[in-house]
Structure 1
């Protein structure tokens, strides 16, 4: 999959400019424009920020043709998961295994 093309497609669907993508994702404007102008592939943290801005998960971003539908509760869980540290993620997974 071409990540830049997918990002561009999602931007076009929303009528977003590079500036709007940067603002919504919390990325610098130069990071957003360099993905397209310099053909820089986005890093995983950049891609996570972009997905958060679009209100989708990485799984949804990479699902070609079959977008996953998440409930509001699931979207909240994924959004909160993204803000956890690695230690917090591991602790949460351990807790869930014990439930």
Structure 2
């Protein structure tokens, strides 16, 4: 059992050591990707090393509408006045938007 704990400890130690090395590299990788996004959509190839593909960014756009209801006002309505709900402003339509996203930067290393 003690040997299992030593194996676990060594795995945890190794994982933490790798993570300590990766964190600054990941931060720099994100900086470089952000810089490449500034040049627009393009593909870069370095022979024998790999490729970097920068896509167009996705923009937020209207995808439809959804019915919004003021839940605090609904109990005040009778069945007869339910048809008046739009006139009274208890319910309204709101735009449904897609999520905006940064352009993707894909990195493929040569085999």
TM range (shorter): under 0.3
Higher strand share: 2
Higher helix share: 1
Normalising by structure 2, we get a TM-score of 0.20
Structure number with higher relative contact order (C-alpha < 8 Å, ≥ 6 residues apart): 2
Normalising by structure 1, we get a TM-score of 0.22
